[in-house]
Structure 1
Amino acid sequence: MANLYNLKRFDLNLLIIFECIYQNLSISKAAQTLFITPSAVSQSLQRLRVQLNDPLFVRAGKGITPTTVAVNLHHHLEQNLNSIEQTINITGKTELKKRFVVYGPQFHAMPKLTRFMDTLLEDPSMEVIYHDTATENDQIEDVLNYRKADVVFTLENCENRALICTPYCDCEAVLISRKAHPRLGDDATLEEILQERFAVLQSREHQIKEFQKLYISARLSERNVAFRSSSLMSVFNIIHHSDLIALVPRLVFERLKEPLNLKQINTPIPLQKFTFYMVYSRASLTSPFFSEIIKKAQKETKHSQKKYQKQNHK
């Protein structure tokens, strides 16, 4: 049984602040997450250092790194704090969350992501708000730390102790044109492709920019770009109405090829695959509501992928 008198003498808020620093490895980010000043975080850390007789965090390059005492403290704290929060949720008069905010790319036509939305909307009291990351300037860490989003889907692999980042699905790029293209058939050589004009998707996503940079420099350095847009649908629309060609995500192309009369152009050039990641705050898993959504979404994505593959084989 815990010694309640000793606990009363100890400021338990110091442990919460410590855990937030540990997850972010940054005093400023911990302050942003807890909505307090960096000075308040530093003062609390200093008090905990005195009580535990250990520096807990030391400078390492431009950041900080935990000491062995801090690592052990985190190991014991992580589950205990989760248990405390769950106890508060059980005994408190909490209401189910009615709004779920998702940040993601314009590639929301892909089966797994649309199924994730379906999973959320199965709750009749749920309101889903979807933000297009192409129109947002905030970093993923800031979006989640400031609680602007519950989940972020991105092409960037985030490495942050406070976040969970898991591979969600893969997507490959394909070269497309309209079916009635006057010069290109189902197959084309590199020389034939370079004689055409291109539509290009402009994106801030690191993987897309790297793909465009490497692909252009290695294979298509002489291509003629006639149209640029940050809207994927605008790229598809211009392909539908003109003789331009474009590199687009296969998953979206498969959904739009029939209504927009598009075709894939087979080339001798191998195209790169992209990995989409699902990112959310580690602290969010302490909410039974959020945890249940994540578990259900992970289960349903397998079903949706099988269903999508069946439809395309018919």
Structure 2
Amino acid sequence: MPYILSMNTSNFDLNLLRVFDMLLREQNVSRAAQRLALTQPTVSNALARLRDMLGDPLLVRVGRRMCPTPRALALEGPIRAALQQIEQTLSTGDAFDPQRSHRQLRFALTDFVEQLCMPSLLASLQTQAPNLRIDVAHLSASFPAEALDRGELDMVLGRFDHVPARFSRQLWRSETLRVAVCQDHPRLSDGLDLQRFLQLRHVWVHGGQTRGMVDQWLAEQNLVRQIVYTTPNYLQAAHLVAATELCVVLPTLLAQQFARLLPLKLYELPFALPPFDLELVRLTHRQHDPALTWLEAQVLAIQPG
């Protein structure tokens, strides 16, 4: 933290760093105060003190947002890393009491994984850790390494092609794919083969990807399907298919859940694709955080069905 080290730090209030970190996350004084359980005047006063000590406005108002200055952006990563290191150092060796903990833990998930994992996890936390707060962010196609590094996320759960070596990976479950159509689809009375699959009109749940497993396999065979609608949302895709003559390829367990709730019929894919893995990932150097270790164990114990 070169800017801070050039100052006289003997009387520096380290609580100001927590305020700085939250202001950079929220870019809004009111929201930062709420997250810190402080009053808005207290946070405003802390920001004024930081501006005076560092000789920089740090955050400037642009419309309804407060945007960080270049100096604030330069400080953001080192300060957040330092706060994480302090937290981990103090918590190392301490027992984690889930019944008393008020920690806020942040996941990134797709809506597919959220549907499979979170109902069981929240039911468990209701009795084991009633005051623990879980915040979920949408998981995009690219692995959120920077968000994990900055402490904006504690864990991610999903399918990843590449994970940097500084992260630990735990297999949660392997999954396959099924084709879902409306229950009385007029073109599938005799079943589903590859030719009929290619003749159907498809919904594609893209999850931010440019090409999924199905289209990659088809391209390798010099084949293509007709995609007429794309969405990032599995639940929306299932409802669309139940009400039309479209079809969608879904993870098997999710497809089975939807088929119990909606007028859907499921088919095996008319070609062979290998299973794909869903993994729980977090920073290796946070392995000694007892709260994350405890929560990781709760997630890995979930067997969705």
Report the TM range for the smaller structure's normalisation: 0.5 to 0.7
Match of 2:79 in 1: 35
Aligned to 1:15: none
User: Which residue does 2:151 correspond to in 1?
Assistant: 147
User: Is the contact between residue 143 and residue 163 of structure 2 (CA under 8 Å) also seen in structure 1?
Assistant: no
Q: Deviations over 1:119-150 (max 9, x none)?
A: 4444111221111214xx87421111111111
Distance in structure 1 (CA, Å) of the matches to 2:76 and 2:160: 22
Given candidates 237, 255, 261, the residue that maps to 1:259 is: 261
Q: CA RMSD in A?
A: 3.2
SS in structure 1 at match of 2:145: helix
Contact map agreement 1:109 1:255 (CA 8 A) in 2: no
The one-letter amino acid paired with 1:265 is Y
Kindly state the Cα deviation for residue 36 of structure 1 after the two structures are TM-superposed: 8.0
Q: Secondary structure of 1:108's match?
A: helix
Q: Distance in 2 between matches of 1:99 and 1:83?
A: 15
1:292–1:265 CA distance, 2 compared to 1 (3 A):
closer
Using structure 2 for the length normalisation, give the TM-score: 0.63
1:168 aligns with 2:172: yes
Q: 2:131 maps to what in 1?
A: 125
Equivalence for 2:11: none
- Larger % of helix: which? 1
Looking at structure 1, the residues matched to 287 and 270 of structure 2 have their Cα atoms a distance apart, in angstroms, of: 46
Amino acid at match of 2:285: A
Give 1:283's aligned residue: 285
How far apart are the structure 2 equivalents of 1:223 and 1:269? 13
**C-alpha separation in 1, matches of 2:220 and 2:246:** 21
Contact 2:171 2:278 in 1 (8 A): yes
Gaps of 5+ in 2: 1-74
Change (3 A) 1:290 1:97: farther
Contact 1:168-1:277 at 8 Å conserved across structures:
yes
Counterparts of 2:190 and 2:175 in 1: how far apart (Å)?
21
Unaligned runs of 5+ in 1: 1-30, 38-80, 309-314
| 2:208 and 2:232 in contact (8 A); partners too | no
Aligned residue runs from structure 1 range 209-224, under 5 A:
209-218=211-220, 221-224=223-226
1:197 counterpart = 2:241: no
Aligned counterparts of 1:204 and 1:119: Cα–Cα separation in 2: 31
SS at match of 2:185: coil
Give the distance between the partners of 2:163 and 2:114, measured in 1 at CA: 27
Q: Distance in 2 between the 1:161 and 1:101 partners? A: 21
TM-score (structure 1 length as normaliser): 0.61
State the aligned residue count: 222
* Identical columns (%): 13
Write out per-residue CA displacement over residues 136-171 of structure 1, whole angstroms, 9 at most, x where no aligned residue.
x87421111111111101211544343211221111
